[in-house]
Amino acid sequence: MLNFQTVEISQIEKPLFSHRFNRDDRPLKTSIQNFGLKTPPSLLFDKGKYHIIDGWARIDILNKMGKSQLGCIVYDASEMNHENAFHLCIELNSWNRKFNVVEKALSLKTALEIFGGLKVPKWFWQLVGIKENIKTIYQYKELLKLPPDVQKYAVNNNITLSVILGFLKFPKTQIETLAHQLFVLPLNQNKLAEILALVLDISKRDEILPVKVMECAFEEVEKRNEFNAVQKEQLLRRILHSKRNPFYETKLKEFDEKIKGLPLNKYTKISPAPYFEDDYVEVNTKINSKKDLDDLVQILQSEVWKELLVEED
């Protein structure tokens, strides 16, 4: 069924299946340069042509090193169909690494094309690391609609599907520009989700393009040349929250004035819900003695505390 052959690189066609995305092949290149090719590529010989099942990066590296031929494991199409070749491809790629989120989407796309939506075998979900349900299938399909730069950002920053798919709520023509505006900042996935939600709300309410919302906010941020990247990101979020909630600064000043009347020790901090978007007040304290406990009870029984919890008309 399989046969080890020396094959001319010029005779090797493109990979049968698209599943690689944003891989750093530099360690592999160094290994090949230092120790040679340790694992031969796997090819499918079909209708007089060699197609890559596994090993595209190794072949590409050797080709760029000036090699004209290499040893490969060759399977004949008369004994291996595309379904089995795909199974082998996924299995070989799952041995030494995990599929990133875009590679999962690409692999799922191929699996659906080969097997059909309701017939994707169990081994696929297990090897690739995808949950077998309708919502997940839909999300991975949607991921491939995003521009490559956004997909790459999701991979490099370990952004979850639910967060990165937030870009699809914006007009298609705006996504790439919006992404380039945001990706210069040090954002984790929670902050990215927060900013996307703010920009979307402001854009819909004021009926202006999302990129214009960002441009206006960035104009204020860029005036602060003394700020580092983290401070600029914090300022941007505050500006967007202020635009979405115009009375935020006023509410914050009023809140700060009220808590000045409370007997707070150095271990106690009282904060409103983030940007006053929920009806709660958060208390963080440290109790080391009965006096600390008595002080906390005094705070919770005070008129000022009651005012903090009264919802204004």
Q: How many CB atoms lie within 10 A of CB 166?
A: 17
Has domain 2-142 been given CATH number 3.10.580.10? no
Per-residue pLDDT of 21-73, as tens digits, reads 777 788 888 988 888 888 899 999 999 999 999 988 899 999 999 999 999 99
By C-alpha distance, which of 132, 84, 81, 91 is closest to 108?
132
What is residue 146's predicted lDDT score, i.e. its pLDDT?
Answer: 96
Among 162-166, 237-241, 302-306, the range scoring the smallest mean pLDDT is 302-306
Query: CB of 13 within 8 A of CB of 51?
Result: yes
pLDDT of 313 > 50? The answer is: no
What is residue 244's predicted lDDT score, i.e. its pLDDT?
Answer: 87
Per-residue pLDDT of 102-134, as tens digits, reads 999 999 999 999 998 668 999 999 999 998 888
- C-alpha separations of 263 from 76, 251, 299, 300, 305 in Å: 82, 21, 7, 10, 11
What is residue 204's predicted lDDT score, i.e. its pLDDT?
Answer: 93
- C-alpha separations of 183 from 105, 156, 161, 233, 241 in Å: 22, 11, 17, 11, 19
Tell me what the mean pLDDT of segment 175-199 comes to: 92
Residue 15's SS3 state is strand
Task: Report the run of H or E that residue 6 belongs to, with start and end.
Answer: strand 2-8
What is residue 51's predicted lDDT score, i.e. its pLDDT?
Answer: 94
- C-alpha separations of 213 from 175, 198, 209, 245 in Å: 13, 10, 7, 14
Tell me what the mean pLDDT of segment 251-277 comes to: 77
Average pLDDT across the chain, whole number: 87
Residue 310's pLDDT band, with cuts at 50, 70 and 90, is low
pLDDT of 282 > 90? The answer is: no
By C-alpha distance, which of 44, 78, 43, 37 is closest to 58?
37
Residue 104's SS3 state is helix
Residue 309's pLDDT band, with cuts at 50, 70 and 90, is low
List, in sequence order, every residue forming a beta bridge with 54; answer none if it has no partner: 42
The token pair that represents 23 in the structure block: 């891989």
Comma-separated ranges of CATH 3.90.1530.10 domains in the chain:
2-142
What is residue 1's predicted lDDT score, i.e. its pLDDT?
Answer: 58
- Distance in Å from the first CA to the final CA of the chain: 79
**Cα dihedral across residues 213, 216, 217, 219: positive or negative:** positive
* DSSP letters for 42-63: EEEEETTEEEEEE-HHHHHHHH
Task: Report the run of H or E that residue 281 belongs to, with start and end.
Answer: strand 281-284
Residue 307's pLDDT band, with cuts at 50, 70 and 90, is confident
Beta strands in 135-272 (DSSP E): 269-272
What is residue 208's predicted lDDT score, i.e. its pLDDT?
Answer: 92
Residue 261's SS3 state is coil
pLDDT of 312 > 60? The answer is: no
d(CA 10, CA 62): 12
Tell me what the mean pLDDT of segment 3-17 comes to: 89
d(CA 80, CA 296): 74
